[in-house]
Amino acid sequence: MMIFVFLLVSIIAGLYVYRTPAACFAFVLCMFALEQWVQSKSSFFVEYPWLINVAVGGLVLLALIVKRFRGEKLIPAVPVIGWLVVLLYVYALASLSWTPRSDLALVQWVKGGPLIIVSFLLPLVVRSYSDLIAGQRALLIVGPLTLVLLVFFGGEWQGRKLILETTGTLSGNQGNPLAIANCAAYTIITIVLFNFQRGKLYWEFFRWFVVVIGLILVIRSGSRGQLMGLFISIFLMIPVGRRIDHPVRFMSLMVGLGGMVAIFDWVWSEYATGIPRWTEEGAMDSVDDRLEMISILLRYWWNTPLSWFPGLGNSASFDPTILGFYPHNVIVEILAEEGLVGFALFIAIMVGTGYSFWHLARKVRLHQEAARSPLAILGAIMIFHLILSMKQGSLLGNSILFAAAIMISRISLIERRKAVKEKVLASRRSLLLGANLVGRYFNPR
């Protein structure tokens, strides 16, 4: 039955992407959460987990093909930040030649490779504000549907993890709670910052319903970083996505934030009680564990001077003599494993993206009111992942952060080129008008 549902949904999604290529943005962000829901219903997809990943990758390729046949140029508008991101990952791949356990590192590349490829292709699809709006509208469909399926039609939970449908050989499989929380956070960020049509009360009911079920999943999955990240990113991006200079708008915003806090308080009281990860002791234990892993990796790197610049090699932390696992801090991981070379590339990417975002935010505030919301949502997703990078994940598993950076920089580049082109055209029109006036003066009829 689930195989038939999978095929039907894949066809519908393909038709949606064919009509609106940027809709693949939503499927990429919700991919792993959807995968777990399907796996909680059918052991077939537990045995063949790559099927959904291939389907989503196919949607991205379809989007690229459709855009190309519609006459859009995909490669020429790649910004410097895009090439720096590619260079960082190429350097990380090259570092496998000197990493202490290349066999363990290759396993991580096989696991993370598909998402990296999809994340690099996604910015080629989403290249303008209209693409952003289309992708975010799709997320307002796919995201809430995914959350509803997980909350109301999902399988059983064991602690913070969704239990996957199993056979005799796959007993004990559990889902990844962080992937579910990520999808919930993307959806909450989008639905809170999206500017719905004014005066439509049902949109507000829809908004807060989705916020409730999203927070339920974040808290039920014990995802502390996701909870903190979504609140911080929304708070920082509200001035970009909303006008708050008018008293009525400011009060409306305060009421909305108050409502979100009230919802959070209710969800917390209902779902966080009794979960060890939400206790102060549980949180402090996790902080201590992460600080210990970070200090071990940095100490190993510092005690190996020949590795200061080139790094220990990508995924070196998986070597049992170092950590045996990733350090749960992408920034420290890059410094230790890709060295000062990789760290300099990372800082350049973040600083360059920050400048591009500042340029876009200043422009939309003055001249492009309709672009405020989509830019704020994209910025919030990047900030969300930047916060997560300080407490979970690895370079190979955090490619959405870099995809968002490329999208921001690419839109900034296209907008700057458009502004230059408009100035050139305006100058030409002025020259032609001046020449016409001079011609009429010397050759009156």
| Per-residue pLDDT, 170 | 46
pLDDT digits (tens, 9 = 90+) for 7-57: 999 999 999 999 999 999 999 999 999 999 999 888 888 888 889 889 999
Q: Considering the domain boundaries, does residue 306 fall inside one? A: yes
| Per-residue pLDDT, 258 | 79
Number of domains the chain is built from: 1
Domain containing 278 equals 2-439
| Per-residue pLDDT, 436 | 73
Q: Considering the domain boundaries, does residue 24 fall inside one? A: yes
Name which residue leads in pLDDT, 333 or 370.
333
Mean of all residue pLDDT scores within the chain: 88
Query: Does the structure show a pLDDT above 90 at 368?
Result: no
- Across 24-38, 251-265, 284-298, least confident range: 251-265
Q: Considering the domain boundaries, does residue 445 fall inside one? A: no
Q: Considering the domain boundaries, does residue 435 fall inside one? A: yes
Name which residue leads in pLDDT, 280 or 22.
22
Residue 236's pLDDT band, with cuts at 50, 70 and 90, is: very high
| Per-residue pLDDT, 303 | 95
Q: Considering the domain boundaries, does residue 444 fall inside one? A: no
Q: Considering the domain boundaries, does residue 64 fall inside one? A: yes
Return d(Cα 218, Cα 216) in angstroms, integer.
Answer: 6
User: Mean per-residue pLDDT for 292-306?
Assistant: 94
What residue type is assigned to position 39 of the chain?
Q
C-alpha distances out from residue 219 to 231, 327, 358, Å? 13, 24, 33
Query: Does the structure show a pLDDT above 70 at 413?
Result: yes
Residue 169's pLDDT band, with cuts at 50, 70 and 90, is: very low
User: Mean per-residue pLDDT for 388-402?
Assistant: 92
Instruction: Kindly report the pTM of this predicted structure.
Output: 0.91
pLDDT digits (tens, 9 = 90+) for 352-365: 999 999 999 988 87
User: Mean per-residue pLDDT for 311-334?
Assistant: 94
Return d(Cα 61, Cα 312) in angstroms, integer.
Answer: 35
Q: Considering the domain boundaries, does residue 176 fall inside one? A: yes
